Structure 1
Amino acid sequence: MIIIDYIAEGFKEAIRLLIGFDKEVYGIITLSLFVSTTATVIASLICIPLGIHLGIKNFKGKKAFSRILYTFMSIPSVIVGLIVAILLSRRGPFGEFDLLYTPKAMVIAQVLLVTPLVLGLTYSISKNRGKEIEKIGITLGASKRDIIILTMKELKVDLIVNIVTAFSRAISEVGAVMIVGGNIKNRTRVITTTISMMNSMGDYPMAIALGIVLLIISFVINSLIYSYSGED
């Protein structure tokens, strides 16, 4: 009963933090959404046109490229974080920009994390369905650029699902942002890193509050995926 009461008190305090618009809690939520949204948008702007182009284009070594790309889709976030940290460290090639332990470094890490995912999903869809769209475009006298735009329009629903999936991975990952961000209070703390830290400290109310927010975000993301995929 003591454990149940302790958990219940944690939930009560968590609700109080959320309803009371606790500044620290909502600062963490805002930064999390900013970092993950920015990273997803940047990766999508680059990878969707590129993925469509590579998917419908025949080139030497396409099978090998596919295998490598699909492997990178599941790359561990800690490896991405380590690579970015080395590149941005003082002795690294980009150390002069002093980006390590800043939100910018976190965005960079998440861009690299979700780029293979967006590229791979887009590449797979366009490889399977893009050829037919390309044939229609060629028949209508479309240029290569017009074909990519036409393919994006025809595969709009699938691409939106891919983007939402990438955002879901970005908002829920902890390894990369912990390494490059450092989890600094009022500067680089996001939902996942704060939950991890609060759990280790035994400070459950804030961890539960942020956990509730993460669950809400996950519910919204899954609802969008189901609605756009046309499932009941």
Structure 2
Amino acid sequence: MDLLIEGFKKAIEMLLSGNPEIFEITWLTLRVSLTSILISTFIGIPLGILIGLTSFRGRRLLLVLINIGMGLPPVVAGLWITMLLWRSGPLGSFSLLYSPIAIVMAQVLVSLPIIIGLTSSAFQQIDEKMLMQLKSLGATKLQTISLLIKETRIAILAAVIAGFGRVIAEVGAAMMVGGNIRGETRILTTSIVMEVSKGNFDIALALSFILMTLAFIITFLLTILQQRKKSNETNYSVR
């Protein structure tokens, strides 16, 4: 218990002292995590809609692969990205390994299947009668998709929240492709692992409190947005 209290005090002290390294690590963590989830969202939601609404050969196998990807171990994702960016790899000439871009690529790899899988699942559960009704009313494909997105937006936001939770807590792949280089690729999760290995549990706990605060704030904002939409829909239906 004393260790937790000391860790919390250390976190407050590090923040109030204006430690530039802590702010740099926190900012980089926030930047790569938000970039990763935005990329995964912009790619994953359209793909999830496409897979959820259409029928094609190999669709079932694709869904199996997506579901497997939802549980992809981060170290495996890190290994694949490392091989891709290695000097002798396909993208080795770009010298992206051990850079924030490499961390973003690894985080996209672990979060993208989650957003695709949960989004496609939400669209697969749409009542076929609704689709037939929209078609009978003469709605275009664009109008139909727009209306269906509004119908499933709570589930879509849940997919984004789940994806963000995966990237903000990711450590294995970030350590492998980023190298935890001070001032360049060191983020909160990799810093915590490093401090624990050095026996600095008070600093590790302080960093963990900062990380949890970041995760809480962003998840809280996304949840408020999600529930506000639900509340608006409930009020509209009552009227």
Report the TM-score, using the length of structure 1 for normalisation. 0.89
Cross-structure match for 2:235: none
Q: 1:18 to 1:131 in 2, by over 3 A?
A: farther
- Out of 190, 193, 196, the position equivalent to 1:196 is 193
CA distances 1:93-145 after superposition (whole Å, capped 9, x unpaired): 10010100000111111111111110000011101126455334323323333
Deviation (angstroms), 1:47: 1.3
Alignment-derived partner of residue 106 in structure 2: 109
Identity %: 38
Q: Give the Cα–Cα distance (whole angstroms) in 2 for the partners of residues 162 and 129 of structure 1.
A: 16
> 1:164-179 maps to which residues of 2 (within 5 A)?
164-179=161-176
Who is 1:186 aligned against?
Answer: 183
Write out aligned runs for 1:4-153 (5 A): 4=2, 8-129=5-126, 131-153=128-150
Moved more, 148-157 or 102-111: 148-157
Is the 8 Å Cα contact of residues 40 and 167 (structure 1) preserved in structure 2? yes
Matched position secondary structure for 2:87: coil
Name 1:207's counterpart in structure 2.
Answer: 204
Q: Please, which runs of 5 or more residues in structure 2 have no aligned partner?
A: 232-239
**Which secondary structure does the structure 1 equivalent of 2:181 belong to?**
coil
1:2-34 CA-partner distances (Å, limit 9, x unpaired)? x94x66444433220022231111111111111
In the alignment, which of 153, 158, 161 is matched to residue 156 of structure 1? 153
Is the 1:80–1:109 Cα contact (8 Å) retained in structure 2?
yes
CA–CA distance in 2 between the matches of 1:9 and 1:111? 35
CA contact (8 A) 1:56 1:131 kept: no
Q: Distance in 2 between matches of 1:87 and 1:132?
A: 45
Q: 1:93 to 1:75 in 2, by over 3 A?
A: same
Whether the 8 Å CA contact 1:69–1:116 is kept in 2: the answer is yes
- Counterpart residue number, 2:234: none
With 65-74 and 88-97 compared, the bigger mean Cα shift is at 65-74
Q: Aligned with 1:99: secondary structure?
A: coil
Shift of 1:56: 1.2
Calculate the TM-score normalised by the size of structure 2: 0.86
Shift, 1:154, TM fit: 1.8
Separation (CA, whole Å) in 2 of partners of 1:130 and 1:30: 43
